[in-house]
Amino acid sequence: MKEIEKLFGGVIRRRRKEMKISQEAFADLAGIHRTYISSIELGKVQVSINIAQKLADTLNTPLSVIWKEIEQELGTEG
């Protein structure tokens, strides 16, 4: 089973790329440092709920939708 951090980061990366914006532009919009965004997308850090909400807001996506995608990924691994 994949770590939740990697799944979360993967969803964030996929949605950012769907918006066709760079990590740097995404970081600026979210008010988060670009290297931290990179660490999030690579699943190297555990983010606080506040950061998770900032990312969701920047992606114009409810946080619940992001978690639903993670749950779907977890379901395909069982």
What range defines the domain where residue 35 resides? 4-77
**What residue spans of the chain are helical by DSSP H?**
4-18, 23-30, 34-41, 49-58, 63-77
Predicted pLDDT at 75: 84
Q: 66: Cβ–Cβ under 8 A, 6 or more apart, which residues? A: 8, 11, 12, 15, 52, 55, 56, 59
CATH number of the domain at 56, please.
1.10.260.40
Q: On the CB side of 74, how many CA atoms lie within 13 Å of its CA?
A: 12
Tokens 């946080």, located at residue: 63
- Is the pLDDT at 69 greater than 80? The verdict is yes
Whether residue 23 contacts residue 39, with contact meaning beta carbons closer than 8 Å, is answered with: no
Work out how many domains the chain is built from and give that number: 1
> For 13-35, what is the mean pLDDT?
97
pTM of the predicted structure, to 2 decimals: 0.91
